[in-house]
Chain A
Amino acid sequence: MPSTPAKGAAATAALSKSNKPTPSPQPAQPPSLSPPPSDEKPQPPLRPVQTKPTQLARTARHALPALQAALFLARFRALVADPVAEMSMTLPVTAALQVTYALACLPVAGSSGGKGGDEAAAAGAGAGKKTATATATATAMPARLGSGKRKAAAAADGGMRKGATTAVLSLLLSALVTPFLYITMILFGAPFLTHGSHTLLCAAHMAVLALFPLFFVRGVDGRAWAALGGFAAPLDDTFGGLVGAVVGAWLGAVPIPLDWDRDWQRWPVTILAGLYAGYLLGRVVGGTVAWGKKF
């Protein structure tokens, strides 16, 4: 479990810093979208993303994968029967689940990228969310933060808005990346002139599953993405999910040529199944036993 003492210490240290007023009346411009710092200076290594230390986050990050897996299994028959219709129907559902997951568990990119600051912001946001939803939250709140309920609420509200904006931007980025995933699938041998919508929807699912959380926590930090792409980043929920999704989708191609004449061998059912299985497995493993490890 991620709540090792060292990390906890880092988190508290960050928390104390974040007490300074967060400059967020204009959350429309998350700092994450600023250009990455120049590559000249030796950079500290990329740190794994830590999920928010709230109860809600803890529950969500275990419940959501189970929910996603259950949904996929429940709808598998429909997927086999009509892949395009089913994939276009489940795409918004998956996106909604992923957004929920991001808002509930993941730190927003920005002050961010696994640095201490964003964890604080994340904690704030999480806390704020809870306050806003008027549940009993005081347990998770450090006393210092709640010097005044209104102030805290305002900060929380800001964090929430920032999270929402980041989520929207990340979804947009995922949509932008989808054509590239589509092209990659074609290059791997997906049908070129036929089954266009099949492949495109599969690519969209991949983007929403594997890339959206990464956009949410890493923004468009070039250095982070170079590390992620080069498989040099430390494993965590998000990166584990990406690795799992890629490997799963790759392995998903294996049963296609078999002459079993099963309906589920239809394009791209196996890819999608591999993608979901790999992603969920990667996310869980990356967030737990393999957390912080590197390839």
Chain B
Amino acid sequence: MAPSKSPPKPSSSASEYKAIAAQFAEAKRRKEAQDAQTKEQQERISLREKVRASIEASRKSAYQTRWVWTAAFWVWLLLIHVVGIAYFTSGFLLTRLVLDERSECAMPPTANSTVPDLLPSWPGKGTVEGGCWHPRTFDRAVVVIIDALRYDFTVPVDDDAAFHNAFPFLYETAVREPRKAFLRPFIADPPTATMQRLKGLTTGTLPTFVDVGNSFSGTAIDEDNLLMQFRAAGKRVVHLGDDTWEALFPSYFEGNLSRAYDSFNVWDLHTVDNGVIENIFPAMERRGEWDVLIGHCLGVDHAGHRYGPNHPEMTKKLQQMDRFIRDLAATIDDKTVLIVMGDHGMDSKGDHGGESEDEIEAALWMYSPKGVFGRTKPEYVTPPANAKIRPLNQIDFVPTLALLMGIPIPFNNLGRPIEESFAGAKGNSWANLAAAERVTAAGIKRYQTAYFAARGIAPSTGPGTPAELWEKAESLVSAAKKQDWAAIFDAFAAYQAKNLEVCRELWARFDVKNMLFGIAITALGVVVLLAYVSRGDDDDVVVEDEELELAEKSLALQGIKPDAAALADVAEKRLVSSALLGALPVFIGGVISAYVGKSGDWYRGSGIAALTSIAAVLVTMYELHEALPRFLPKTLWGWMAVVFTVSQSIGFASNSYTIWEDSILLFFIATFGFVSALAALRLPSLADRSLAIYHSVVFVILARVASFSKLCREEQMPYCTSTYYASATSSTSAPWQLLIPFVASVILPSIIKAYLQPTRAYEGLAPTWIGYIFRAVLFMSALYWLLDAADNGAWIPGLSETNALKNLNVYFAQMLLGIALVAGTTAFAWAPPCVAVRAAASPTDPSKAQVQIFGYANAHGARYLLLPLNLLAACFLLSKPMGAGALAIMAWQVLALLEILDLHNLGSSSIGPIMLAVLGTFHFFKTGHQAVVSTIQWDAAFIPLFSVRYPWSPLVVALNTFAGQILAAACVPLLVLWKAGPKRKGLLDAVSKALGAFVAYFATEGLATMMWAGHLRRHLMLYRVFCPRFMTAAVVLLVVDLVGVGVALTGTRCNTMSIGEVFGWAE
């Protein structure tokens, strides 16, 4: 460093002194010169440092700009999907016109008829006291609804299932005292959700999809209905139990006696029932204070949801109901009728909502000690052995109760009076029966006339139509001198039946124009996605070119600044701008025209806006490439991706392929693994070959292992055995299944480590997070399910009664979700790259030290992996033990897939995203779901919560339901980032394209299911198969879009920023 000064020598001569001085001066000058040089050098270095920093900064800001535009493009796509789906749905979901007319006591529908009444006038005719339209039978009614009381729960069945023979009272009384009681199957109209059923049971109409839409917001019923008529007649109504009634009939009930209880806490089997039982008996004492008493018990339904029907809790619940109804019947007097019914049934796992036989077959039992019920035939005395024999429609309850209580039948009623109630104790009061049938039929006729007038359509006439049947029945009444009552009864019954059939068809009215519009928007959305994915096939492959990077940097260092605008330029920017340009004028125009013209269909504006927006984007895409992109794949892999997607989409046209989707997905996964193992034989290096075969075999075997987790849908029977729960008729896990999460928590972190080790990327945060925290969360999730099972099965006596275990478990689950999602996201956001810098002796020259960066080759992938793992941990807890095992397998499969793609060099092929999508869908089925409403595991909402809370409960259910697809979507960036070093360029673009292919799979399925559902709208299986599959596909598409932007793209940005901070900006 500093020049050494010559040590002053002792000297006597001046010349020596001079020489020394000269030397000193020389040294000083040299030193100064050197100092100056150093300074200059330092300045130069700092200048270069500044230039470098400014390059970094400009690259960073350019990256951020590009990211924003890319995200904007995806948000636009999401909007297109929303508009397309909404449009189709608006035409597909059925609507029914709600009429405002009310029935009036003094105005029976037969009043205007030229044909005389069938019955002679009775005292008090036309008044509530005597009976408005028909002689009154009872003063008071007690209606007990036992939610989900399936018919076979109430009749003797020769087996020892937990749900059979536990509730014998109804059957016994009907057999022992047929005049006092009868029991019949009671068929619900789907959808079999409690709210829709209550609407049907009080208004007498058929539910349509718009009713479904309204029901979730819980609007009050404003159509004419039983309770409205009771209120109009001055009757006092008391309600106990399910609070759905309060939502449907606000301020209808007597405040001092009524009690409503929360209906959504399916974990809670007892609160509602105990509330009903505790309050109903005191109310029975105070019978002067009410006329109608409604009790709604939820315990049986909740036991079904929580445990499935075949569980000791169900036996207990049914036995409790048996005692309850026994006690209640004892308090009924002669002026009161007691009606016990189920509003719907339950499927083999205890859920409902759909239209399978088990879900629609409920039971109806009516009881009165007065002994007024009769049978028209002696063989009708014994209640039917199963629900296929002599079933009643649930809407028949409406005219029956109205006529028995002497109030008018609600205006919209389509049902008919129940035979037993009007046939007289001897079963031969045909005149009474015919009169009841006629007045009901006249009401129906009046409603039909009003409905057709309101819709402005003419009812069809001719042989076989309701109009003709009506004329025939009326002529029977007027023609015959000595009237054949039975024939009249049959004629009006035939009219009612035919009319019901016509109404069912009429309300299956679709708006084909809107459906086509929705399909067009969705189809063009798919075209945009395909064009986006296949754009610039060859020129912008992901590059990692050190020399190019160096050259660029040195250029930049020489002061040639790269054009910041060019850096930030991105195709998405132009696409988004043209999308806005195409959409905004039309949208605004649509809104203004709707506002000015008051046409009210502003949504048509948004539909057209979506179309013009897509058109603008397509034109821009065309300009960008100056040639139509090639959609057809060039390689075998690309073809596989196309075949998997397209063949499945075509298959959705067949109910069989839709039903067996899970097996088909396994077949595709096996095909990919098989082809990949064979293709490995072409790899030149022996090591690569063995690795590729190994990972392919692992990939396929894991899929087959996961395929043992099955939850069969009804249509798969008898070729399928459910294994997801302890048995086909329960929704709890078997003890051995509780072991699965424990095993997964031990094995999975080690497997992840093994996949990170080859690139030495198990560094940085990875060992702590994966090895300890992730493992601990998985282990504690397993523990959660163990405690849950202990609580359900009452393994620890005394604990279940106090709810202590349940309370503990909820907090436990909240903590685990907090670690997985909140702490996990924070850790991911702040984590440094998973790399380690270590010094080691240089292999060539052991005397020199060499710096090694561990994990360099997988810097992007290893760090990003932490994000899907956090999501996995959350879904792991929220799925049942069997599902947790499936998700663990899925994680392993994703890692194997990444290795396979890397070995085959398929980083930019579409097969990667498609296989990921197939995997995600496959594990949707393996986590105990099917594309039917009844397999939604609503009870998952109560894992981290005590009661329903928005928005958390729907979020938790979504995480449970779509765990497979959500995880897959979060893993999409790994397809690009896995084994990508920090200097790799063009990552964002590649991730966005991979996401495009991934979403294209779901968009194609959404489009296909939409088209098939629309095309097959008259198909027998529409509501069982095609409609649920379309709804699943639509929701999945939106979920995948959201996760794509919110997790995948955001995570990629976060990841790139972190890597860029450490290694410098490559983008």
| B-binding residues in A (CB < 8 A) | 184, 186-189, 192, 226-227, 229-232, 250, 253, 257-259
Contacts and interface: CB of A to CB of B under 8 A. Distances in A.
23 contacts: A184-B674, A187-B700, A188-B666, A188-B667, A188-B670, A188-B671, A188-B674, A189-B707, A192-B708, A226-B681, A226-B682, A227-B681, A229-B678, A229-B681, A230-B680, A232-B682, A250-B671, A253-B667, A257-B659, A257-B664, A258-B656, A258-B657, A259-B655
Nearest to A258: B656
B592 interface: no
Contacts of A227: 681
A113 to B, nearest CB: 16
Interface string B649-660: 000001111011
A253 B704 CA distance: 16
A188 B707 CA distance: 10
Nearest to B658: A257
Q: Which one of A186, A189, A230 has the highest number of Cβ atoms from chain B below 10 Å of its Cβ?
A: A189
Nearest to A257: B660
Contacts of B704: 186-187, 189
Question: Which 10 pairs show the lowest CB-CB distances between chains A and B?
Answer: A230-B681, A257-B660, A230-B682, A188-B670, A229-B681, A226-B681, A259-B656, A258-B656, A257-B656, A189-B666
A286 B660 CA distance: 35
Contacts of A230: 678-682
Given A229-B678, A230-B678, A232-B682, A257 B657 contact: yes
A219 B659 CA distance: 45
A230 B654 CA distance: 35
Contact of B670 (A189, A192, A226): A189
B701 A187 contact: yes
B757 interface: no
B768 interface: no
Contacts of A186: 704
Interface in B656-714: 656-657, 659-660, 663-664, 666-667, 670-671, 673-674, 678-682, 700-701, 703-704, 707-708
A192 B705 CA distance: 11
Contacts of B667: 188-189, 253
* Chain B interface bracket (under 10, 10 to 19, 20 to 34, 35 or more): 20 to 34
Contacts of B673: 187
B679 to A, nearest CB: 6
A257 B713 CA distance: 14
Interface of B: 654-657, 659-660, 663-664, 666-667, 670-671, 673-674, 678-682, 700-701, 703-704, 707-708
A40 B703 CA distance: 36
A258 B660 CA distance: 9
Q: Interface residues of A: mostly helix, strand, loop or mixed?
A: loop
Contact of B678 (A188, A231, A257, A259): A231
A230 B904 CA distance: 13
Given A230-B681, A257-B657, 4 more contacts: A187-B673, A187-B703, A230-B679, A257-B664
Q: Which one of B659, B670, B671, B700 has the highest number of Cβ atoms from chain A below 10 Å of its Cβ?
A: B670
A258 B657 CA distance: 7
A187 to B, nearest CB: 5
A192 B656 CA distance: 21
B657 A187 contact: no
Contacts of A189: 663, 666-667, 670, 704, 707
Contacts of A229: 678, 681
A258 B651 CA distance: 10
Nearest to A225: B681
Nearest to A260: B656
Nearest to B665: A189
A184 B657 CA distance: 22
Given A187-B670, A187-B701, A257 B682 contact: no
Contact of A258 (B654, B666, B703): B654
Given A184-B674, A189-B707, A257 B681 contact: no
B680 to A, nearest CB: 8
Contacts of A259: 655-656, 659
Contacts of B703: 187
B1025 to A, nearest CB: 11
Contacts of B701: 187
Nearest to B647: A254
A192 B680 CA distance: 27
A185 B394 CA distance: 49
B891 to A, nearest CB: 20
Contacts of A253: 667
Nearest to B689: A226
Q: Which one of A232, A250, A259 has the highest number of Cβ atoms from chain B below 10 Å of its Cβ?
A: A259
Q: Which one of A229, A253, A257, A258 has the highest number of Cβ atoms from chain B below 10 Å of its Cβ?
A: A257
B906 to A, nearest CB: 16
A186 B655 CA distance: 25
A231 B680 CA distance: 10
A2 to B, nearest CB: 26
A53 to B, nearest CB: 31
B144 to A, nearest CB: 40
A187 B670 CA distance: 7
A120 B543 CA distance: 53
A227 B674 CA distance: 15
Contacts of B708: 192
B713 to A, nearest CB: 13
Contacts of A226: 681-682
A189 B708 CA distance: 10
Nearest to B704: A187
Contacts of B657: 257-258
A231 B656 CA distance: 33
A187 B707 CA distance: 10
B777 to A, nearest CB: 32
B367 to A, nearest CB: 43
A227 to B, nearest CB: 8
Contacts of B670: 187-189
A186 B697 CA distance: 13
A186 B674 CA distance: 12
Nearest to A295: B636
A56 to B, nearest CB: 35
A246 to B, nearest CB: 9
Nearest to A229: B681
Nearest to B671: A250
A226 B677 CA distance: 11
A231 B679 CA distance: 8
A243 to B, nearest CB: 11
A259 B1019 CA distance: 15
A242 to B, nearest CB: 11
Contacts of A231: 678-679
A195 to B, nearest CB: 12
A205 B217 CA distance: 61
A230 to B, nearest CB: 4
Contacts of B659: 257, 259
A253 B651 CA distance: 13
Contacts of A258: 654, 656-657
A230 B655 CA distance: 36
Contacts of B681: 226-227, 229-230, 232
A232 B655 CA distance: 39
Nearest to B661: A257
A232 B681 CA distance: 9
Q: Which one of A188, A231, A253 has the highest number of Cβ atoms from chain B below 10 Å of its Cβ?
A: A188
A257 B667 CA distance: 12
Nearest to B1021: A259
A186 B666 CA distance: 11
B647 to A, nearest CB: 9
A262 to B, nearest CB: 12
A189 B666 CA distance: 7
Contacts of A257: 656-657, 659-660, 663-664
A216 to B, nearest CB: 21
A188 B700 CA distance: 8
Contacts of B654: 258
Contacts of B666: 188-189
